[in-house]
Amino acid sequence: QTERGDRQGGRGDREGETHRVRHIGRHKMQRLHYSGEPVADAVSTDIQTLNKFSDQQFAALTEILFRFVTEPTESERLLNELGEFASQNGMSLGPLKNIVKSALLVPNGALKRNLTAEHVKADFIALGLSEEKAGCFADQWRLHSAVLSRQALGQTITVNQLVDMEWKFGVTAGSSELQKVGGIFLQLKLVIKKGNKSEIIYMELTLPQFYNFLHEMEQAKTSLECFG
């Protein structure tokens, strides 16, 4: 009876291991929203290291990351803040830089593809980050969504030649966030020229985000005319 139980237990362990292997296999085959590519081992390893951070450490690092994402020209400030963070938490700066470099791939890719907080959360979970920490990052994405949306639209038009633009208004019928239900939003279809090829980019902005963007574009136009 004991031998049969051991065999059954061994079979159960193997079945459990097979299930985990299959789960990991599906995980790696999943395409990420921010890149359209499958999960990369090196990036996944860096992201999973964040699970070892305490909630306080992760929250502090997330703030540092979002300060850089919203102001991407401040690379020197980012390095200084990472140095302070590493010193305060007894970490080596080199490995921390690698982790941050991998973590920034998600928001930078999400900006280019105009992804939602839900997409960002799903990508971090797919890369191995705990659901709680992925949710924390997604909350910060929602908090900075107005700035990030304007930044994404501004970068797209500034870096690439705008060939054509279409827009239409819509009303949010359902959302996980109650305050968004019934809200008016603007869907943009941009046709931009990249080298010899044209590319279509879809974006979605709330009306306040769109008006803020127009205001900033008018200010930029005025500044250019002053120097013209």
Q: pLDDT tens, 104-146?
A: 999 988 887 778 889 999 999 999 999 999 999 999 888 887 6
Lowest mean pLDDT among 10-19, 80-89, 171-180: 10-19
Helix or strand holding residue 227 (H, E): helix 207-227
Q: Find the range with the poorest average confidence among 22-26, 151-155, 159-163, 177-181.
A: 22-26
The model carries a pTM of 0.60
Count CB neighbours of 36 within 10 A: 9
Pairwise CA distance, residues 185 & 84, whole Å = 41
Instruction: Answer for the pair 32, 111: CB distance below 8 angstroms, yes or no.
Output: no
64: nearest Cα among 98, 34, 103: 103
C-alpha dihedral, 217 to 220 to 221 to 223, nearest 10°: 160
